[in-house]
Every structure is written in C-alpha cells, then in structure tokens.
Amino acid sequence: MDKLILEPSGPLRGTVEVGGAKNAALPIMAACLLTEEECVIEGVPHVTDVNTMAQILSLLGVEVAWEDGRLAIHPNHYTGWTAPHELVSLMRASICVLGPLLARHGRAKVSMPGGCIIGLRPVDLHLKGLEALGATFTIEHGYIIGRAERLRGATIHLSGPFGSSVLATGNVMMAATLADGVTIIEHAACEPEVADLANGLVEMGAKITGQGTPHIRVEGVLRLHGARHRILPDRIEAGTLMIAAAMLGGEVTVKGAISEHLGGLIDKLREANVAVESLNGSIRVRSDRRVKGVQVTTLPFPGFPTDLQAQMMAMMTMSEGVSVVTEKIYPERFTHVPELRRMGAQITREGPSAIVQGVGRLSGAPVTASDLRASAALVLAGLAADTVTELSGVEHLDRGYEQLETKLTHLGAAIRRERG
Ligand code: EPZ
C-alpha cells in the first residue's frame, strides 16, 4: 500500500486547474446504460471509483475505453443485469446502475450496499422512488433483485431523515426518462452533480426540466440516443484546494472553480478572515494571517457540503478560537477526528457535533486515512504540521482525487509518494 510523506509546507502560491467531478461522472457513466448508442464523456477524472464503475459496465457487456482523455462508452446490446458484491462493496455509488437497468431491461440485480465507514447509508429512497414507477423488489442472498414490466410516470417525494438523496434522485430521474408518461420528483436533490446528470440525459434526448431545483419534471420518451457530454468541474476538489490555501497561507487561484457551486464554503472562509475573490472562471484565495474559528453545519446544496467537512475541520484545528462542526448529513462522518487528535488537535465530540479548540501548531505523526475526504483532511493537516507526517490509507485518496499531490506540489507543498 502506498504512503504519502508530507513535510511542513506553505505558503502556497500559483494557479491550479480543477478536474472533472467524480460525483457527476459516476451517475453519467451509469446513464449510458439507457441507450444502445455510443456516448463520449469528456473531463472524466482518472480515479479508482471511475475504474470501478467502468468495471461494472464492462461486466454488464458494455464497451468502455479511454480515448485521449475522454471516456467512450458503447453499450451496444449489452445483456448483463448484475452488479456483483465484489465491486459494489468497493463503491456504494454502484447503486446508480439500478434505475437504468430496470428502465432498459426490466430487471436488475445489484448487491445491497452495506453500511460504510461514514455511517449507515440506507437505500430505501432509491427503492421507494423506483417502486413508485412500477418496479418491484426483493432482497435475496444480499442482492436487491428488481423487476419492472413497464415503468410508468408518477409523482414521487424523495425526502428522507437527512434531506433528499443525491443518487436516489439520479436513479429515479434516469429510470423516468424511459417510463410511460410524466414523472414529478418532489424534494429532489439540488446538487450541481444532479443537474449535470440531467443535462447529460437531455443531450441523450431525455425531456427533463427543473434540474437544480427541488421539483424535477421528466417526460418519458421511447428511446435515448448517444451523446457527447463534458463533466462539470469538481467543486469538492476545488474546495479542498481553497481550504489548503486558507490553512497554509499564500495566494492560490483555482481555475475552473465555479463560485455558485461553492457558496457555502466561500461564506465560511470569509467569516474566518480569508480573502476569497470570484474571478471569471476561477476563484482566488488569499490568506496571510491565522484564520478565525467559525461554526459550520453541513447541509444539502446550497449549504456547506458534507464532502468538505473533514478538510474544513483540519483548517479549524489551527484557527484562533473555538470552532463547531455539526454534521447533518452523515452524523458519524468523523473518522478523521482521532487521527487529527494524534497530531495534537484539540477536538471533542458531542453527538453529531465536534468542538474544535484551535491550537497554534500541529505536530507531524504517522496517521491513517479510512475515508476519501478524511484522507484529504489529513493531507492538509500533514502539510501544516511542524514535522514530517506519514499518511497511510492513501487508496482512499485515490478513489476520488486525481493528482491532488501533484497539484499541491505545483503550488509549493512538499509531498512525496512511497509506493508500497
Ligand atoms: C452522494 O452520495 C455523494 N456520492 C457523496 O459523496 C456525498 O457525501 C452525498 O451524496 C451527500 O452529498 C456520489 O455522488 C457518488 P445521499 P449519496 O443519498 O447520494 C440518507 C464523497 O466523498 N439516505 O444524498 O449516496 C443518507 O444516509 C461521497 O465523494 C437515506 O436515508 O448520498 C444520508 O444521510 C461520500 N435513504 C442522506 O440521505 C436513502 O435511500 C444523504 O445521502 C439514501 C440516502
């Protein structure tokens, strides 16, 4: 297993370009199952979660190939309908093949995703939404077995105890594109990745309106065709780089970052005394003093994203004063806390909140990542520490960040990978 060796770094200076969004790419890859024709997706990041989705599509009988930085997906007349446990257990987002398989084949067998390190993560909203369209489900031997004679449009409410669901909205929207009649999704997730999926589907011939709002309307069509789609820039990668600049100091321009997608973060960084400027097609972050403690609550978009909570907490460990982080999407998403504490951070947990008393410095230590965003938080903490930090569990980072270490190195950080 690889390790990252992180040396004391900062200030960061320069310009980096953000890649395509992993969380937009995965459902759009699954959406290709809705057509027989070739789809070309541009800007797909080279990360292991994308490889896992490509493996699932290949197992179903779909041709997947990288061509000059684009992903060419040719479903032809694929006949597979099973997403096996070995792959679904690597990545819960595999669940997004469920809706397309039911819409196209009338049957699907997808391994039931278990709980994961960031919490329970049920799939009831996916099943509820697809059932409303006429699918039926049984759970057998750890698999969700779905069947549907013909899907029919319906009005579906998709809110759960922690708000709407991003991938359940995607699953229902994808299935509804080929259903008879009109589907209305109420309490739809408003995340930019859901809107990007809808835009990709529209390019394939789907009739969708309201994407990006809690009220999505899908008018079913008989068939979808091939299309070419460019994935939107990754707001979580952009946010991670912005927090790095805020925490380590300096001046960094993140090219491709869209300020409308990062409002929750920008607001909190400014409150913490960090200068954030929205330019045409990029965001510039400048920080020349110790940041101030802030209160952050994670919420569905446009609130502060749960996927930036760990990185923000890493920044708070060194801020002036007390910060409070409340996790309203995944109340157990705190695996970074004990590792940050090993580096000298003063954090106490109170239910879904963490209280962070800022310290003047973090001390380098061997630490282990156990979740994608926790790994990014530990990279930032390691660069801010006073001595070398050795980060294990880098495979989590590789699931969702394309070349984070190269980009940070380009800005002046000292990171090296030891291949294991
Ligand atoms: C997506 O997961 C993202 N993954 C996650 O990113 C992200 O953290 C999450 O949305 C929230 O923004 C991808 O897009 C591939 P949800 P998703 O269903 O769709 C509960 C990362 O680090 N819920 O919107 O699976 C759920 O437990 C990852 O890149 C139900 O109750 O998340 C949670 O509390 C991790 N029933 C809340 O809803 C359901 O059927 C939101 O989860 C589904 C979800």
Q: Encode pLDDT of 34-90 as tens digits.
A: 999 999 999 999 999 999 999 999 999 999 999 887 999 999 889 999 999 999 999
Strand runs (DSSP E) across 128-233, as ranges? 136-140, 143-147, 155-157, 182-186, 207-209, 215-219, 228-230
pLDDT band at residue 201, thresholds of 50, 70 and 90?
A: very high
Quick check: CB of 93 below 6 Å from ligand 1?
yes
Closest to 224 in 3D by CA, of 250, 242, 244, 204: 204
Could you give the C-alpha distances from 33 to 100, 108, 123, 373, in angstroms and in order?
6, 12, 20, 29
Q: Which residues have a Cβ under 8 Å from the Cβ of 24 and sit 6 or more positions away?
A: 192, 193, 196, 197, 231, 232, 234
Among 23, 91, 232, name the best residue to mutate to test ligand 1's pocket (greatest count of ligand atoms within 8 A of Cβ).
Answer: 23
Instruction: Say how far apart CA 350 and CA 274 lie, in whole Å.
Output: 27
H or E segment to which residue 348 belongs: strand 346-350
Which among 39, 96, 116, 190 is annotated as catalytic? 116
Quick check: CB of 162 below 6 Å from ligand 1?
yes
Level-2 CATH architecture, domain 3-18+233-418 = Alpha-beta prism (3.65)
pLDDT computed for residue 97 by the predictor? 98
Lowest mean pLDDT among 91-95, 117-121, 234-238, 378-382: 117-121
Ligand 1, atom nearest to 26 Cα = 15
Q: 165 C-alpha vs ligand 1 centroid, how far in Å? A: 6
pLDDT band at residue 336, thresholds of 50, 70 and 90?
A: very high
**Domain 22-230 fold:** UDP-n-acetylglucosamine1-carboxyvinyl-transferase; Chain (3.65.10)
Q: 163 C-alpha vs ligand 1 centroid, how far in Å? A: 10
Quick check: CB of 115 below 6 Å from ligand 1?
no
**pLDDT mean across residues, the chain:** 96
Quick check: CB of 158 below 6 Å from ligand 1?
no
pLDDT computed for residue 115 by the predictor? 59
Quick check: CB of 128 below 6 Å from ligand 1?
no
Q: Are 400 and 49 in contact (CB under 8 A)?
A: yes
Q: Are 201 and 175 in contact (CB under 8 A)?
A: no
pLDDT band at residue 352, thresholds of 50, 70 and 90?
A: very high
pLDDT computed for residue 346 by the predictor? 98
Could you give the C-alpha distances from 149 to 60, 96, 261, in angstroms and in order?
20, 20, 39
Whose CA is closest to atom 10 on ligand 1? 166
Residue 14 backbone class (left: φ over 0; alpha: ψ -120 to 50; beta: rest): left
94-110 burial, b if ≥16 CB within 10 A, otherwise e? bbbbbbbbbbbbeebbb
Q: 9 C-alpha vs ligand 1 centroid, how far in Å? A: 33
Quick check: CB of 257 below 6 Å from ligand 1?
no
Quick check: CB of 264 below 6 Å from ligand 1?
no
Q: Are 347 and 339 in contact (CB under 8 A)?
A: no
Question: 86: exposed, middle or buried (C-beta count within 10 Å: 0-12, 13-18, 19+)?
Answer: exposed
Q: For residue range 133-191, list pLDDT tens digits in order.
A: 999 999 999 999 999 999 999 999 999 999 999 999 999 999 999 999 999 999 999 99
Greatest pairwise CA separation for the chain in angstroms: 63
Q: 95 C-alpha vs ligand 1 centroid, how far in Å? A: 11
Q: What percent of the chain has pLDDT over 90?
A: 94
Among 53, 121, 240, name the best residue to mutate to test ligand 1's pocket (greatest count of ligand atoms within 8 A of Cβ).
Answer: 121
Quick check: CB of 123 below 6 Å from ligand 1?
yes
Whose CA is closest to atom 43 on ligand 1? 123
Which ranges in the chain are annotated with CATH 3.65.10.10? Answer: 3-18+233-418, 22-230
pLDDT band at residue 114, thresholds of 50, 70 and 90?
A: low
Q: Confirm whether 116 is a catalytic residue.
A: yes
Q: 412 C-alpha vs ligand 1 centroid, how far in Å? A: 34
Q: 31 C-alpha vs ligand 1 centroid, how far in Å? A: 18
Q: Residue 356 pLDDT > 90, yes or no?
A: yes
For residue 295, report the phi and psi dihedrals to the nearest 5 degrees: -105, 130
Q: For residue range 277-290, list pLDDT tens digits in order.
A: 999 999 999 999 89
Quick check: CB of 307 below 6 Å from ligand 1?
yes
